[in-house]
Amino acid sequence: MTAALNHQALLQALHLALAVALFYTCFCRQTRSTATTTRADVRGAFWLLSIAAAVVAVAPYGHAIWPDLFEPYAVAWPDVLLLAGIVLVQAVTARHWRDGVPTAFLREAGPTQWPWGPGESSTLPPLRAADQQRLEQQLQDLER
Protein backbone atom coordinates (compact mmCIF):
# COMPACT_ATOMS: atom_id res chain seq x y z
CA MET A 1 0.00 0.00 0.00
CA THR A 2 2.81 2.42 0.87
CA ALA A 3 4.59 1.71 -2.42
CA ALA A 4 1.39 2.46 -4.33
CA LEU A 5 0.97 5.75 -2.46
CA ASN A 6 4.59 6.71 -3.15
CA HIS A 7 4.12 5.83 -6.81
CA GLN A 8 0.95 7.95 -7.04
CA ALA A 9 2.62 10.82 -5.15
CA LEU A 10 5.53 10.72 -7.62
CA LEU A 11 3.14 10.76 -10.58
CA GLN A 12 1.22 13.68 -9.10
CA ALA A 13 4.41 15.64 -8.43
CA LEU A 14 5.69 15.07 -11.98
CA HIS A 15 2.24 15.89 -13.38
CA LEU A 16 2.04 19.17 -11.45
CA ALA A 17 5.62 20.19 -12.30
CA LEU A 18 5.09 19.52 -16.02
CA ALA A 19 1.73 21.34 -16.06
CA VAL A 20 3.30 24.39 -14.41
CA ALA A 21 6.22 24.25 -16.87
CA LEU A 22 3.78 24.09 -19.79
CA PHE A 23 1.82 27.04 -18.45
CA TYR A 24 5.07 29.00 -18.02
CA THR A 25 6.26 28.30 -21.58
CA CYS A 26 2.92 29.47 -22.95
CA PHE A 27 3.05 32.56 -20.73
CA CYS A 28 6.53 33.42 -22.03
CA ARG A 29 5.35 33.17 -25.64
CA GLN A 30 2.25 35.23 -24.91
CA THR A 31 4.34 38.04 -23.41
CA ARG A 32 6.12 38.36 -26.77
CA SER A 33 2.89 38.32 -28.80
CA THR A 34 0.62 41.27 -29.48
CA ALA A 35 -2.65 41.57 -31.37
CA THR A 36 -1.06 43.93 -33.89
CA THR A 37 1.98 41.83 -34.72
CA THR A 38 1.08 38.17 -34.10
CA ARG A 39 -1.45 36.08 -36.02
CA ALA A 40 -4.69 35.52 -34.12
CA ASP A 41 -4.58 31.74 -34.57
CA VAL A 42 -1.13 31.58 -32.97
CA ARG A 43 -2.22 33.73 -30.01
CA GLY A 44 -5.39 31.65 -29.67
CA ALA A 45 -3.47 28.39 -29.72
CA PHE A 46 -1.15 29.49 -26.92
CA TRP A 47 -4.07 30.92 -24.96
CA LEU A 48 -5.94 27.61 -25.22
CA LEU A 49 -2.81 25.63 -24.31
CA SER A 50 -2.34 27.88 -21.25
CA ILE A 51 -5.90 27.25 -20.10
CA ALA A 52 -5.45 23.51 -20.66
CA ALA A 53 -2.23 23.54 -18.63
CA ALA A 54 -3.96 25.34 -15.75
CA VAL A 55 -6.89 22.90 -15.79
CA VAL A 56 -4.57 19.89 -15.98
CA ALA A 57 -2.52 21.23 -13.06
CA VAL A 58 -5.51 21.37 -10.72
CA ALA A 59 -7.40 18.32 -12.04
CA PRO A 60 -5.99 15.83 -9.48
CA TYR A 61 -6.92 18.21 -6.64
CA GLY A 62 -10.39 19.27 -7.80
CA HIS A 63 -12.16 16.55 -5.81
CA ALA A 64 -10.44 17.64 -2.59
CA ILE A 65 -11.49 21.26 -3.17
CA TRP A 66 -14.98 20.72 -4.61
CA PRO A 67 -16.08 17.13 -3.87
CA ASP A 68 -19.59 17.71 -5.25
CA LEU A 69 -18.31 18.97 -8.61
CA PHE A 70 -15.36 16.71 -9.40
CA GLU A 71 -14.77 12.98 -9.40
CA PRO A 72 -11.47 11.75 -7.93
CA TYR A 73 -8.76 11.83 -10.60
CA ALA A 74 -5.72 9.57 -10.35
CA VAL A 75 -2.78 10.66 -12.48
CA ALA A 76 -1.41 7.90 -14.73
CA TRP A 77 1.82 7.52 -16.67
CA PRO A 78 0.20 8.38 -20.04
CA ASP A 79 -0.84 11.75 -18.57
CA VAL A 80 2.72 12.46 -17.48
CA LEU A 81 4.23 11.28 -20.78
CA LEU A 82 1.87 13.46 -22.83
CA LEU A 83 2.66 16.50 -20.72
CA ALA A 84 6.39 15.75 -20.91
CA GLY A 85 6.20 15.52 -24.71
CA ILE A 86 4.40 18.85 -25.03
CA VAL A 87 6.80 20.57 -22.62
CA LEU A 88 9.74 19.11 -24.56
CA VAL A 89 8.35 20.53 -27.82
CA GLN A 90 7.97 23.91 -26.13
CA ALA A 91 11.55 23.74 -24.80
CA VAL A 92 13.03 22.69 -28.17
CA THR A 93 11.18 25.42 -30.07
CA ALA A 94 12.01 28.12 -27.49
CA ARG A 95 15.13 29.07 -29.47
CA HIS A 96 12.89 30.26 -32.30
CA TRP A 97 11.26 32.72 -29.89
CA ARG A 98 14.52 34.08 -28.46
CA ASP A 99 14.43 37.22 -30.62
CA GLY A 100 10.66 37.61 -30.52
CA VAL A 101 7.77 36.08 -32.40
CA PRO A 102 9.02 33.84 -35.25
CA THR A 103 8.53 35.39 -38.68
CA ALA A 104 6.09 32.66 -39.73
CA PHE A 105 3.76 33.68 -36.88
CA LEU A 106 3.71 37.40 -37.69
CA ARG A 107 0.65 38.97 -39.26
CA GLU A 108 0.74 39.60 -42.98
CA ALA A 109 1.44 43.19 -43.96
CA GLY A 110 -1.40 45.15 -45.48
CA PRO A 111 -1.10 46.82 -48.90
CA THR A 112 -0.14 50.20 -47.40
CA GLN A 113 2.28 48.74 -44.89
CA TRP A 114 4.78 46.86 -47.04
CA PRO A 115 7.18 47.65 -48.48
CA TRP A 116 8.04 50.98 -46.98
CA GLY A 117 10.93 53.18 -47.86
CA PRO A 118 13.75 54.31 -45.60
CA GLY A 119 12.50 56.67 -42.94
CA GLU A 120 8.82 55.84 -43.53
CA SER A 121 6.79 54.48 -40.65
CA SER A 122 5.09 51.12 -40.49
CA THR A 123 2.69 49.32 -38.19
CA LEU A 124 4.86 46.22 -38.45
CA PRO A 125 7.59 45.50 -35.92
CA PRO A 126 11.14 46.31 -36.97
CA LEU A 127 13.01 43.55 -38.77
CA ARG A 128 15.40 41.45 -36.76
CA ALA A 129 19.05 41.89 -37.61
CA ALA A 130 19.28 38.45 -39.25
CA ASP A 131 16.19 39.13 -41.39
CA GLN A 132 17.51 42.57 -42.34
CA GLN A 133 20.84 41.08 -43.44
CA ARG A 134 19.08 38.37 -45.44
CA LEU A 135 16.90 40.93 -47.23
CA GLU A 136 19.87 43.17 -47.98
CA GLN A 137 21.76 40.19 -49.41
CA GLN A 138 18.78 39.29 -51.60
CA LEU A 139 18.58 42.88 -52.88
CA GLN A 140 22.28 42.86 -53.72
CA ASP A 141 21.86 39.55 -55.55
CA LEU A 142 18.96 40.98 -57.56
CA GLU A 143 20.98 44.08 -58.55
CA ARG A 144 23.77 41.93 -60.01
Query: Domain locations in the chain?
Result: 2-106, 108-144
- 92 and 24 Cβ atoms separated by less than 8 Å: no
Residue 5: its pLDDT value, please?
65
Q: Is the pTM for the entire model greater than 0.85? A: no
CA distance 135 to 11: 49
How far separated are the first and last CA of the chain, in Å rounded?
77
Predicted confidence (pLDDT) at residue 129 exceeds the cutoff of 90? no
* Number of residues assigned to the chain: 144
Q: Which of 80-84, 94-98, 118-122 has the highest mean pLDDT?
A: 80-84
129: left (phi over 0), alpha (psi -120 to 50) or beta: alpha
Q: 106 pairs with which residues across the strands?
A: 38
Mean pLDDT of the chain: 84
The CA–CA distances, whole Å, from 114 to 9, 78, 79 equal 55, 47, 46
CA distance 23 to 90: 10
* pLDDT digits 0-9 by tens, 91-116: 999 999 988 899 889 887 544 444 54
- pLDDT level of residue 83 (50, 70, 90 thresholds): very high
* pLDDT digits 0-9 by tens, 41-67: 999 999 999 999 999 999 888 888 888
